[in-house]
């Protein structure tokens, strides 16, 4: 017999960081569609990614990066990676 189908190993708490990740994606989308020169938008997005990676890495010393729990350091770090990837893909 398998595990209880109503059991969620992560619980309800990781829902908040998942929502934050979604909102960061919305902000990135709004940033990339602004009426500015493309190079300015992509550079801003890439720099935001660098800041996200740095802040997420620094925060991981206090609150370790953990994907299963969707910790805040994981959210900030992966959002930074995503911003850099989007900037590189569009550039």
Q: Answer whether residue 41 shows pLDDT above 90.
A: yes
Asked if residue 79 is part of any domain, the answer here is yes
- C-alpha distances out from residue 42 to 2, 36, 46, 89, Å: 48, 10, 6, 10
Asked if residue 29 is part of any domain, the answer here is no
In angstroms, the first-to-last Cα distance of the chain is 51
Per-residue tokens: 10: 């992560």
Asked if residue 32 is part of any domain, the answer here is no
Return left, alpha or beta for 11; rule: phi > 0 is left, psi -120 to 50 is alpha, else beta: left
Q: Answer whether residue 62 shows pLDDT above 90.
A: yes
Asked if residue 13 is part of any domain, the answer here is no
User: How many domains does the chain contain in total?
Assistant: 1
Least confident of 18-22, 32-36, 43-47, 68-72: 68-72
Q: Determine the structural domain holding residue 63 and report its residue range.
A: 39-91
Asked if residue 71 is part of any domain, the answer here is yes
Cβ neighbors of 81 (< 8 A, separation 6 or more) are: 49, 52, 53
Asked if residue 86 is part of any domain, the answer here is yes
């Amino acid at each position: 017999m398998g595990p209880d189908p109503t059991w969620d190993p992560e619980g309800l708490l990781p829902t908040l960081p998942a929502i934050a990740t979604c909102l960061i994606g919305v902000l990135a989308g709004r940033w990339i569609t602004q009426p500015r020169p493309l190079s300015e938008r992509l550079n801003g997005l890439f720099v935001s990614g660098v800041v996200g990676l740095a802040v997420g890495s620094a925060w991981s010393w206090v609150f370790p990066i953990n994907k299963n729990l969707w910790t805040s350091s994981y959210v900030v770090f992966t959002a930074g990676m995503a911003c850099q990837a989007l900037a590189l893909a569009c550039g």
